[in-house]
Every structure is written in structure tokens, then in C-alpha cells.
Amino acid sequence: MSKLTLTTEGDRHVVVTRRFAASPEAVFRAHTDPKLVQKWLLGPDGWSMPICINEAKPGGKIRYEWSDGKGAGFHLTGEYVEVEPYSRIVHIERMHLPDPTPDNHVETRFEKDGTGTLMIMRMTLPDAETRAAMLATGMDEGMEASYARMEGMLQRGELAA
Amino acid sequence: MRNLDTAFLALADPTRRAILARLALGEATVMELAEPFDMTQPAVSRHLKVLEGAGLITRRVEGTKRPCRLAPDAIAEIDRWLDWLRQAMARNYDRLDDVLAEMQTEEGKEKP
């Protein structure tokens, strides 16, 4: 069962939702306390985040640096625009690959949902082509990890169209 | 059933996936595709040939141009990519579940 939804909206938006079995306060802290962010925002297995700067206040800076421990790495920078503990964060971010990608404007909301939290993250890209490129980049990451599994599924005929 | 090996070989290249993502927005000519990808038109044409051979795009003739569009099957492929992206993000959030569980345990220790 997948708890995550990822959908596109209009030409420029991507919307991600996810439920957590913890209070909005805890989920908010896990997104804004650098020590906690370093434990989970890591992407594929084997990567770590040696540098994590996260100043959760309007105008505060964000800098995440990832490393695969074998010399490969990249980083993300951003700025907080609005911070409403423990319900809403608005920030702008860009990846450096190493050239910066166009700014991604992200609104993250944490809504009380029974005993847990519903997170709704809405990304706004400058234009449709940037969104397409971003999704294509994200797809690469998923592609690599999924290739072996996909081959197995192909052999069993589960992906046959 | 179409040839899945050819389709997945076509999809194994990041530039071709980006071209398909661009075509998801609508029909485009080789010139329009070459520009955002910073590629020469012959290089784009080679990628298009692979995509066409895999049945992921179709091309029509309009004067001297041959605009490309996604084949209906390719839309299903893009949905599949979105699934892969979901899986990559899902790994992060599964780890966050563990972090949240740890936080709760620590809170419990502070408040006996």
C-alpha cells in the first residue's frame, strides 16, 4: 500500500500528499530541525546529507548537501518565505547540478488528520517546460532503483501491455 | 502486444525521457525540441527515430516539417514514470516515519 500521492495540476504544479502517524507539530519539526532532516531527506539508499542548514523563519536560508560517499554529490539552496508553526511552510528552492535549476516555489501544509497528520506539498514551477524537466530528472532516480525490479516484472509478464 | 524490449531501451536514455516529457505538453517540431535541450537537430532526430521505432511517438507530415506527438501508449509510460518518482519520494517518507516514531519514544522518556 502506498500512502504517497504525486499528481500534476495544470501546467506548472506538482502536488504531493502523504499521511503520517504523528502530530502536525512533530512532522513540522522533522521538516525544520536540521538534525532530524538529515535522518530522512536522503533520496536513494546509500546517500547521506553531510551539510544541512535550515533556518525556519521568513528570509531564513536552506542549504542541503548530499553525498554518495564515493565522491559524487550535489546540493540544494533555498529561502523560507513564510513559516507558520506547525501548520504551513512556504519556501523557494533550486537544485545545483551544478548549474542552478529554475526556482521551485513550494507550499507545505500539515493538517491534523485524526491522530495523525496529512501533509500537502504543492510545488509551482516557472513554466510547463521546467516542470517537465524536473519530473524527467526525478524519474531518473526512480528509474535506476527500479530497473532491476522492472526486469523481473518483465520476465514474469506483469508489465505486458 | 508491442515490443517491450524496444520500448524500455528507448526509455533508458534520460534525453529521450525528457523529450517525451516535453511532448506530453503537446506536439512539437524537431527545431522546437532541439532548443530547450541544447542539442543539434540531427542529434534530436536520432533520438526521435528511436522513440518512433519503439512506438512511443508518431510523426505527421506538414509541408517540410514532421511534427511529433506522443503515441497513446507513451502516456501510459509517463504514468509509469510518475510511479517511479513516487517510489523515490516514498523511500524518504518511510524514513521520516521512523524518525517520527523515534521522536515519540524520546518524548515518552521525557514525560514518565
With beta carbons less than 8 A apart as the criterion, state whether B99 and A49 touch. no
Mutating which of A11, A14, A40, A158 best tests the B interface, going by the most B Cβ atoms within 10 A? A40
Q: How many domains does chain B have?
A: 1
- For the domain covering A5-126, report its CATH number: 3.30.530.20
**CB of B95 less than 8 A from some CB of A:** yes
Question: Domain map of chain A by residue range?
Answer: 5-126
d(CA A44, CA A46): 6
Cross-chain residue pair B36–A27, CB shorter than 8 Å: no
> How far from B73 is each of A9, A88, A129, B77, CA to CA, in Å?
21, 39, 21, 7
d(CA A119, CA A106): 13
Mutating which of A4, A11, A110 best tests the B interface, going by the most B Cβ atoms within 10 A? A4
Q: What is the mean pLDDT of each run of 10 residues along chain A (161 residues)?
A: 72 87 92 92 82 97 90 88 97 82 92 94 83 62 38 37 32
What CATH number is associated with residue B45? Answer: 1.10.10.10
Q: What is the pTM of this model?
A: 0.65
Among all residues of chain B, which has the CA nearest to that of A134? B18
pLDDT in tens, B19-63: 887 887 788 999 888 887 778 889 999 999 999 988 889 999 988
With beta carbons less than 8 A apart as the criterion, state whether B54 and B10 touch. yes
Cell 504543492 belongs to residue = A122
At A52, which amino acid appears? C
Cross-chain residue pair A129–B25, CB shorter than 8 Å: yes
Confidence of residue B75 (pLDDT cuts 50, 70, 90): low
Residue B69 Rama label (left phi>0; alpha psi -120 to 50; beta) = beta
